[in-house]
Amino acid sequence: MRLGGRPGVNRRPAGPREDPLVVLLLPRALEAFALREQAEDLLEAPGVIAVDPAPLPYGAVGRLPTPLTAGLAAAQAARLVRALPAARAR
């Protein structure tokens, strides 16, 4: 089914919905984050998780060759996906 007649935009099938999950993407480790108190307040809410940044700074990633950055992005995505089921179990 297409939404609004736009190609490539599909509707999701209706079905049971899970509780929402909020992912807080931290620019640095929580302990070093300038807005740590606010982030910790958010983390007390149900369904909120925090994800630390990749170990390699974003500025350094921008200077790497594209094939290498694609691999790093895939590794970062896999790390995030592994963290999500654990967050759902809380």
> Per-residue pLDDT for 4 more than 60?
no
How many Å apart are CA 90 and CA 56, to the nearest integer?
28
Q: What distances in angstroms separate CA 10 from CA 4, 15, 20, 89, one per listed residue?
A: 9, 15, 21, 29
Predicted confidence band at 2 (pLDDT cuts at 50, 70, 90)?
Answer: very low
Whether the model pTM is above 0.85 = no
Spell out a b/e string for 11-36, using b for 16 or more CB atoms within 10 Å of the CB, else e: eeeeeeeeeeeeeeeeeeeeeebeee
Q: Give the model's pLDDT for residue 14.
A: 58
> Per-residue pLDDT for 38 more than 90?
yes
Q: What confidence tens digit (pLDDT) does each residue in 70-82 have?
A: 888 888 888 888 8
Predicted confidence band at 36 (pLDDT cuts at 50, 70, 90)?
Answer: very high
